A and B are shown apart, each in its own frame.
Chain A
């Protein structure tokens, strides 16, 4: 069973602080990693994709990948109330799979 694990939260962070979201995956052959944001009642929206070890920054968002530890994280700097949502970690497993395997998501609450 290829699994993606996330802490379901809720994770409560004060406005303006850094929110840190973590994800581990079981399939060592995974090559592609994504973070999606999902507001209640809406479909997932792609935030970041990362394919290589290290950090990838896009505005207030930084994705970090460590394939040796099978660990992906998302940092949100200067958190805003509008960042309050569920954040889904998704992985394309190895072995020729094409679809995404999702974690259960972390519910993030930014406190004004």
Chain B
């Protein structure tokens, strides 16, 4: 399965600032996904990022708050903008392993964000 490097692993940020999270995959993948896991909760899909096109956002998530870049088939970034304490969560990237439809989705190690 694909190996995903995600960074930073954790950060403490001031409210009103922005943080960019990076996700690097060791193989080319068509789709990359960004999830949020709030404290004590399950994972919620934020958006799907395909290379060369605009990210597709799930209900409740908007591009101005969570801009995503996908410059090539192995890399993506998620920015959490104008942060508030409610954004304190673990953010995870995920990929579908090649070929499409294979076993399942692999996750990065996550970014634990605390907003103070």
Contact = CB atoms under 8 A, between A and B. Distances in A.
Contacts of B103: 46, 49
Given A98-B96, A99-B33, A99-B48, A88 B43 contact: yes
Interface size class of A (residues with CB under 8 A): 10 to 19
Interface residues of B, number: 22
Nearest to A6: B42
Interface string B90-116: 001010100000011111111000000
Contacts of B106: 46
A111 B44 CA distance: 30
Interface of B: 1, 31, 33, 35, 41-45, 48, 58, 92, 94, 96, 103-110
Interface of A: 34, 42-46, 49, 88, 90, 98-105
